[in-house]
Amino acid sequence: MQNLTTLGEFIIKNQQDFPYAKGELTRLFNAITLASKVMNSQINKAGLVDDLMGKVGTENVQGEEQKKLDVYANKVFINALKARNEVCGIASEEEEETIIFENEAGKNGKYIVLIDPIDGSSNIEVNVSIGTVFAIYRRVSPIGTAAVLEDFLQKGRAQVAAGYVIFGSSTMLVFTTGNGVNGFTYDPSVGVFYLSHTNIQIPEKGTIYSVNEGNYAYFSESMKSFIDYCKFVDTSTNRPYTGRYIGSMIADLHRNFLKGGIYMYPDSIKSPNGKLRLLYECNPMAFLIEQAGGKATNGKQAILDIKPREIHERTPFYGGSSKMVSQLEMMLTNTL
């Protein structure tokens, strides 16, 4: 067996890269990996566990049907993070309001976590990859006080760590603390995440584009022209590109990290601000994408430079290989 590095060993070795050492990163990631292991065991048998499949009969703040797995995952991650006493507050896709930990330990927590506990949960019923996305910030309000809304509305550029867990053919944790992106594959037989993808770099050019072309009629003319560009026959520029749209952002973007490509959730007549949420989907993925040498934009500016106005706001999102995203930006801003 090759000399495998565990997630724990990796974090200890790279603790100094985390701006605020003293074991805080370790405790934060211990919470996330514990919750991920619990979710892995449940997701792998979700089809057999009746109370995890299907709908809850409620809606989240977005007006989307909450799946039982969404609600379950939300509880698992929130409880795991609260127990570590490093976090003063959490914002979750599944919670209308922010969760502020008002006890002494919570008030002394230095970090804010924003999370989408399960993105793409409707895919679980058809056995398609789903995932968890998280962003970690240092609070801006004084330690020793209750977290406030401004702590949650920081620009994505202020993230101190971000990552995703993809529950697919294998379960992987991919994260950054601002010094590159590394991937860890979970071995359920021993309950350990092992370093499997070191210093992930997104190829600057790709030939795969991901968008829901069912919405083509609702896209802007410039968005339509980019999709037409991807499909145009020009072998000198490796076109037509390959279309791949899994219906799970994390799965599409994970493929981009490894093979190159562009994932798009545009604004449209149906969704003027797109569908994806800025704080707990787009910002963490954009931080990872930039750390891996790619680009992530809303069509006009870098995702990480957007000043959030409210915790559940949406944004158009285009991310992946830098040259593909730049090409799209030029077409969207008609600066070709």
Nearer to ligand P6P, 119 or 151 (CB): 119
| CA separation for the pair 205, 226 (Å, rounded) | 15
Scanning 81-89, 132-140, 247-255, 319-327 for contacts with ligand P6P by CB under 6 A, the matching segment is 247-255
How many of the chain's residues bind ligand P6P (CB under 6 A)?
A: 8
Among 171, 248, 283, 298, binds ligand P6P (CB under 6 A): 248
Which pair of tokens denotes residue 180?
């590159």
**Interface characters, 200-219, with ligand P6P (x: CB under 6 A):** ------------x-------
266-270 contacts at long range (C-beta below 8 A, 24 or more positions apart): 266/211, 266/215, 266/219, 266/220, 266/223, 266/299, 266/316, 266/318, 267/220, 267/299, 267/316, 268/215, 268/218, 268/219, 268/220, 268/223, 269/218, 270/215, 270/218
Nearer to ligand P6P, 141 or 212 (CB): 212
Judged by DSSP in three states, 67 sits in strand
Task: Determine if 268 is a binding residue for ligand P6P (CB under 6 A).
Answer: no
DSSP string, 130-160: EEEEEEEEE-SSPTTS---HHHHS--GGG-S
* Residues 271-300, interacting with ligand P6P (CB under 6 A): 275-276
The distance of closest approach from Cβ of residue 132 to ligand P6P in the complex, given in angstroms and rounded to an integer, is 12
Task: Determine if 129 is a binding residue for ligand P6P (CB under 6 A).
Answer: no
Nearer to ligand P6P, 67 or 84 (CB): 67
Residue ranges that bind ligand P6P, judged by CB under 6 A: 119-120, 212, 247-249, 275-276
